[in-house]
Every structure is written in structure tokens, then in C-alpha cells.
Amino acid sequence: MKVIDIRPPVRMNDLAVFDVEIGHHLRLYNLSLRRTPSGRLRTLAPNACGKHSASFHPELAEQLTKAAEAAMGGLAAYDKNRSAA
């Protein structure tokens, strides 16, 4: 699994929006990384027609979240982009 791109969020509740490649045959775009009220991080699929376009098994969701966290390197996505400029 590889994070292809990570960028600042559009929604205030999100920490980042990211794209990920899962093997050679699957890429997912515009996933949201969000902190829940309990403080836990969670990855959400983008919306289509007002509903999430996909759901993830808890094991895959955890892997996606950890990959996004690693790509951010402990910074918010907007801080990461600012430091790269």
C-alpha cells in the first residue's frame, strides 16, 4: 500500500485528503482522514450522491489510516505542504 498524494482537507473536520494505491490493480482517490470525537483517527471514503462511495473492513481501514499518518509525518496536511514549499 502506498499513499500517492496527500493534501489539505476541504472539510473542517478532516485532517487530510489522500489518494492511495493498494497493489497494482487498485487506486482509491479522495479519502478523508478524520479525528473522531474520541480522538481516534478514521479513514472515510468520498461521498457520491450524499452517501459514502465505499466502506472498508476494519483491518483495511486501519492500514489506510496508518499509511496516511505515516505520509503526514506527524504534521497536518497543510503544514506538510507549507514546509515543502
Residue 23's Cβ-side half-sphere holds a number of Cα atoms within 13 Å equal to: 3
Q: What pLDDT was estimated at residue 46?
A: 93
- Domains along the sequence of the chain with CATH: 2-84 (3.30.1120)
pLDDT band at 17 (very low <50, low <70, confident <90, very high): very high
Q: Write a three-state SS string for the chain.
A: CEEEEEECCCCCCEEEEEEEEECCCEEEEEEEEEECCCCCEEEECCEECCEECCCCCHHHHHHHHHHHHHHHCCCCHHHHHHHHC
Cell numbers that stand for 47 in this block: 461521498
The closest alpha carbon to 73, from 2, 20, 6, belongs to 6
Share of the chain above pLDDT 90, in %: 75
